[in-house]
Structure 1
């Protein structure tokens, strides 16, 4: 019984000390990540990616719509015939 009590006490002390050190390290990592994220070169690339995504998004949504429509029709057993000139 004494061994278990000592183990639990040691685990509790280790947890408290570890969580303090862990929290400090987390704050360091978060501050570093924020600094990198807000830097000019990273933000320049973010803008490029946003513009590229905006250009492609309508085609992706349309394609996804057609895939979902096909899947629903297949699931419900609705016959689909290809449009002229698409086959």
Structure 2
């Protein structure tokens, strides 16, 4: 379950919040002035997020390297064509 708490509430109940994350696999979004600023997730989830981020960064780098010699206009046109083809396929 994802729970949202204020930073003040989080600070006052840190021990309980850690237990919720560790034993119930909850995630906690911490907000300040009504805006989310951080999240507390269990260590396994955090490790998964890091792996996904590393894979995304590697993929982004490969894509950027593939398009290094292509103008922005050509790249955008190719993206538009791929999106159009995908939409057509799902009609």
Work out whether the TM-score is over 0.5: no
User: Which range, TM-score by smaller chain?
Assistant: 0.3 to 0.5
Instruction: Give the number of the structure whose residues are more often helix, by fraction.
Output: 1
Calculate the TM-score normalised by the size of structure 1.
0.34
Instruction: Give the number of the structure whose residues are more often strand, by fraction.
Output: 2
